Structure 1
Amino acid sequence: MSTETISVNQDIRTLRREAAEAFQMRMQDQGTYVVRLLSSPGSGKTTLLEETTKRLGKEYRVGILVGDIATNRDAERLSPLATTAQITTGGACHLELPLVEKILPQLGQSSFEFLFIEDVGNLVCPASHDLGEHLRTLVLSTTEGDDKPGKYPKAFRTSQAVVINKIDLLPYVPFSVERAMADARDVHGDIDFFPMSALSGEGVELWCDYLRLLRNKMMSKCANSIPE
């Protein structure tokens, strides 16, 4: 059996990075702050989005893209709270930008002040793909173990914030918030932490204040960059 090598003379990683930067700029220009959530399955991403949207939705237009391998159950949970579209990968373990851009029009023509992208539950593959988000947040559940940052360093190294979820279960699980934070800082020294219980609402408002602050900074930067 003969083989043939075809040279495409293109740097795929550069093309993907440029596409992500263009998407981020397009969202920024229309005033949309993009927040992407990464985590293992069952960490509470959807519950976090429910509680976040209940609060931010009172002040801002919120759109949500939900990534799953199968079913539209998460979109059904979130759609009463915000304009939501399901991205079903059919087996792929992560989202990629072309798929996000394909499904995005399903949210309608109106622009959003916050766009949340819930990636497929996985701490490996999603860390290697840039979706053009302004903020990448990793959701770590207390039921998973406090050594996850050291085991999955790229996911933490490429994120700007960590939500330590399900702190209401701390009396019942062998999880140390302090050890998890120290482990994450060994990987990424400049990372923000938000211990919370999305189920009870404890700590969620501080997370929402953080998102408000970051979007305000983005909008101020955009305003200062406009030539007079």
Structure 2
Amino acid sequence: MCGICGCGQTNDTSKLKLLLRQNQPLLKLDHNRHAHTHDHNNNENNERLIKVEQDLLSKNNAYAAQNRAYFQQHHIFALNMVSSPGAGKTTLLVETIKQLKGCFPIAVIEGDQQTEHDADRIRATGVPALQINTGRVCHLDAHGIGHAVMELGIKDHSLLAIENVGNLVCPSSFDLGEAHKVVVLSVTEGDDKPIKYPDMFHAADLMIVNKTDLLPYVDFDVGRCIQYAKLVNPDIQIIKLSSTKGDNFSAWTDWLSGQVKPS
């Protein structure tokens, strides 16, 4: 369970969290309007939890706004890369760097609970990478990203890729100041992920369907996956590719090249 965002709470609390993310007013509990026998302490605890989460998200959003202003001022195109563990984010980034590092500066912030394995893979390509180990926390936050950006000393007119902790739940709630959230979904995971984890796909601007070279060997309906994603987020863009085989990889690199402002 995440010690920061409070995941693992009841479904009722999750619904209230969703209201917070949508900036809807909190429900006011009126204990005089119905007869019941449950313990009011549970409601009081939930109200306190909601207040803490509201304060936490508000503080995070303030840091995210500062990050976004800095990125815009310095023409840094920041992406928040999110996915389940093992979807292929790091391999996607390694192959992206190989193709684009001669076009514009690239820097990477890696988020994992432990180890520097992914940051080491990025550094091996010759671009700067900073690892943030989150311990028991299941997502990156805007405050940590702000410090990482200062430590990396990212150049103007750069691409900054932020590889978030592998998790399709909590990172959807935490704005990092990015220009876009990009959700990576591999065909080995199941085509129903967009409706099983709708918050993440609703928050994303682009869905990459990765590992398409494995489609002959897995039970994954690409059309159904896209249908589910569009049901959750009608405006989401879709790119289907294989990071390892290079199939349709240019659709991704062309999209990136069109976003980074030249110096």
Would the TM-score normalized by the shorter structure come out above 0.5? yes
Task: From the superposition, tell whether residues 109 and 53 of structure 1 become closer, same or farther in structure 2 (CA, over 3 Å).
Answer: closer
Alignment match of 2:78 (pick from 34, 43, 66): 34
Question: If you compute each CA radius of gyration, which structure gives the higher value, 1 or 2?
Answer: 2
* Structure-2 residue corresponding to 1:87: 132
Q: Distance in 2 between matches of 1:115 and 1:26?
A: 12
Shift of 1:12: 4.5
Q: Which runs of 5+ in 1 are unaligned?
A: 220-228
* Structure-1 residue corresponding to 2:35: none
* Structure-2 residue corresponding to 1:224: none
* Structure-1 residue corresponding to 2:145: 100
* Structure-1 residue corresponding to 2:110: 66
Alignment match of 2:87 (pick from 43, 46, 49): 43
Q: Distance in 1 between matches of 2:94 and 2:142?
A: 24
Aligned 8 A contact 2:81 2:181 in 1:
yes
Q: Which runs of 5+ in 2 are unaligned?
A: 1-47
Alignment match of 2:68 (pick from 10, 13, 24): 24
Q: Distance in 2 between matches of 1:185 and 1:75?
A: 33
* Structure-2 residue corresponding to 1:204: 249
Shift of 1:29: 0.9
Task: From the superposition, tell whether residues 13 and 108 of structure 1 become closer, same or farther in structure 2 (CA, over 3 Å).
Answer: closer
* Structure-2 residue corresponding to 1:223: none
Aligned 8 A contact 1:166 1:197 in 2:
yes
For each residue in 1:130-177, what CA deviation from the matched residue of structure 2 results, as whole angstroms up to 9, or x when unmatched? 000001100000000000000000000000000000000000000011
* Matched residue SS, 2:231: helix
Q: Distance in 2 between matches of 1:92 and 1:12?
A: 14
Q: Distance in 2 between matches of 1:109 and 1:148?
A: 34
Letter in 2 for 1:119: N
Aligned 8 A contact 1:70 1:91 in 2:
no
Aligned 8 A contact 2:157 2:260 in 1:
no
Q: Give the paired residue count.
A: 211
Alignment match of 1:124 (pick from 155, 169, 172): 169
Alignment match of 1:169 (pick from 205, 214, 234): 214
Q: Distance in 2 between matches of 1:16 and 1:50?
A: 29
Q: Distance in 1 between matches of 2:56 and 2:185?
A: 31
For each residue in 1:43-64, what CA deviation from the matched residue of structure 2 results, as whole angstroms up to 9, or x when unmatched? 0000000011111211100000
Q: Distance in 2 between matches of 1:193 and 1:80?
A: 29
Shift of 1:83: 0.8
Q: Distance in 1 between matches of 2:244 and 2:154?
A: 32
Asked whether 1:151 is paired with 2:226, we answer no
Higher alpha-carbon deviation: 20-29 or 39-48:
20-29
Q: Distance in 2 between matches of 1:186 and 1:66?
A: 30
* Structure-2 residue corresponding to 1:55: 99
Aligned 8 A contact 1:51 1:204 in 2:
no
Higher alpha-carbon deviation: 186-195 or 20-29:
20-29
How much identity, in percent, do the aligned residues show? 39
* Structure-2 residue corresponding to 1:225: none
Alignment match of 2:235 (pick from 190, 193, 215): 190
